[in-house]
């Protein structure tokens, strides 16, 4: 897998959110032209993207802000975790409580509460930019 794409309305806020998770901006670009229209299947595409990578360099997120055609919202807004389609993006973290505290100013809202799975992990689901579900996993021991 090369990357996961996420369409956002506020590109700078999304960059700040994922940077707080330790991701780094690898590059930014404006996307437009016939090749983009043909690839995506929309006419008149003009978007800004930011490619972000995990600190180990193995995972990437492509954040995209569409100027034209305008992005459309999903129905229902903020779907629950059992909605068909992309379920969530999970990040391994060293300190779950610290990450939650750092993400709250960026609008992160826990879906439940941190919970422990056996003696292996502490886990928590949060709602991130544009309502996507971001899972956090702290390995124990």
Between the alpha carbon of residue 76 and those of residues 5, 70, 84, the distances in Å are 20, 18, 12
Intervals of CATH 3.10.180.10 along the chain: 4-68, 89-139
pLDDT band at 100 (very low <50, low <70, confident <90, very high): very high
Q: In sequence order, what DSSP letters do the residues of 39-96 get, joined into one string?
A: HHT-SS-EEEEEEEE-TTSS-EEEEEEEEETTP---SSSS--TTSSS---EEEEES-H
Tokens coding 3: 């990357």
The string of pLDDT tens digits covering residues 20-61 is 999 999 999 999 999 999 998 999 999 999 999 999 999 999
CATH number, span 89-139: 3.10.180.10
Tokens coding 46: 């003009």
Residues 4-68: name the CATH superfamily. 2,3-Dihydroxybiphenyl 1,2-Dioxygenase, domain 1 (3.10.180.10)
Global pTM? 0.89
């Amino acid at each position: 897998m090369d990357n996961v794409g996420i369409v956002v309305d506020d590109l700078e806020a999304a960059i700040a959110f994922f940077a707080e998770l330790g991701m780094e901006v690898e590059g930014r670009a404006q996307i437009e032209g016939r090749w983009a229209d043909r690839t995506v299947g929309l006419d008149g595409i003009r978007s800004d993207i930011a490619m972000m990578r995990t600190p180990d360099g193995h995972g990437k997120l492509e954040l995209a802000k569409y100027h034209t055609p305008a992005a459309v919202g999903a129905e229902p807004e903020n779907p629950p975790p059992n909605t068909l389609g992309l379920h969530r993006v999970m990040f391994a973290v060293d300190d779950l409580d610290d990450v939650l505290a750092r993400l709250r100013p960026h609008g992160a809202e826990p879906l439940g509460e941190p919970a422990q799975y056996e003696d292996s992990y502490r886990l928590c689901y949060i709602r991130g930019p544009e309502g996507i579900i971001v899972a956090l996993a702290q390995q124990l021991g």
